[in-house]
Amino acid sequence: MTRVKICGLMDEYELECALKAGADALGFVVEIERSRHRLSLDEARNLIGMVPPFTTSVAVVEPAGVDDAVRLADYLQSDALQIHGDLSPEEIEEIKRRVPQRIIVAVPPGSDRAVEVSRIADAVLVDTPVSGGLGGSGRTHDWSVTARMRSTLHAPLILAGGLRPENVMDAINVVKPYAVDVSSGVETNGRKDPVKAEEFVRRVRSCQ
């Protein structure tokens, strides 16, 4: 069964929207200035604390290094840490050794480091690259490239980038990911839309 993560949640209303839609995982963007979904440490920790059992909380971070990642993990207490940026495989391995959270590493499609990172991480998230290095652009990429990547990875692949209710079934059929990740694709006027969120999850489930 393809899992669903709804990311970029900003407040309790959006958290409840994602839960009611049936998302398996909820994502919170922490202290990444160029993201319009960014939260402060305290805002993120508060929302993460509201995530109920059997739903995975994911802190989306861009740590400056190993110690910064450990600091964020310790404070936020999420179930998983989604790491963006250019940390080396050695640094990711050290983070994984020092924190209890599952580690998701974000890479662009066709990344040269994806295979090596997949030997360490619990999952690899493939997102459309944007200027500045963080996803969340709402733009798709060539899914055939990501499908080829999937067969080379040693960890589950999470597909992100421009997904929305209208295209998620096609994306799943091409890539066959472990999970799909959506943010702006279930928004209206910059806010999570419960109708779009529910339709997105429904269409993912219909692919099973």
Say yes or no to pLDDT of 9 above 60.
Answer: yes
Tens digits of per-residue pLDDT, 54-111? 999 999 999 999 999 999 999 999 999 999 999 999 999 999 999 999 999 999 998 8
Q: What is the mean pLDDT of residues 159-174?
A: 97
Q: What is the mean pLDDT of residues 11-30?
A: 99
Q: What is the mean pLDDT of residues 45-51?
A: 99
Q: Which fold would CATH assign to domain 3-206?
A: TIM Barrel (3.20.20)
What's the confidence (pLDDT) of residue 105?
A: 98
Q: How far is the C-alpha of 119 from the C-alpha of 154, rounded, in Å?
A: 5
Average pLDDT, the chain: 95
What's the confidence (pLDDT) of residue 8?
A: 97
Above pLDDT 90, what percent of the chain? 88
What's the confidence (pLDDT) of residue 93?
A: 98
Please report, for residues 28, 119, 150, the alpha-carbon distance to residue 35 in angstroms, rounded to integers and kept in the order given.
11, 28, 27
Above pLDDT 70, what percent of the chain? 95
Could you say which of 7, 11, 17, 42 is catalytic? 7
Q: What is the pLDDT confidence band of residue 132, given thresholds at 50, 70 and 90?
A: low
Q: How far is the C-alpha of 53 from the C-alpha of 208, rounded, in Å?
A: 24
What's the confidence (pLDDT) of residue 141?
A: 81
Active site residue 127: yes
Give 54: exposed, middle or buried? Use CB within 10 Å, 0-12, 13-18, 19+: exposed
Q: What is the pLDDT confidence band of residue 189, given thresholds at 50, 70 and 90?
A: very high
Q: Domain segments of the chain: what residues?
A: 3-206
Could you say which of 17, 42, 79, 127 is catalytic? 127
Active site residue 207: no
Say yes or no to pLDDT of 135 above 70.
Answer: no
Q: How many residues make up the chain in this entry?
A: 208
Say yes or no to pLDDT of 205 above 90.
Answer: yes
Helix (H, G, I), strand (E, B) or coil at 4: strand
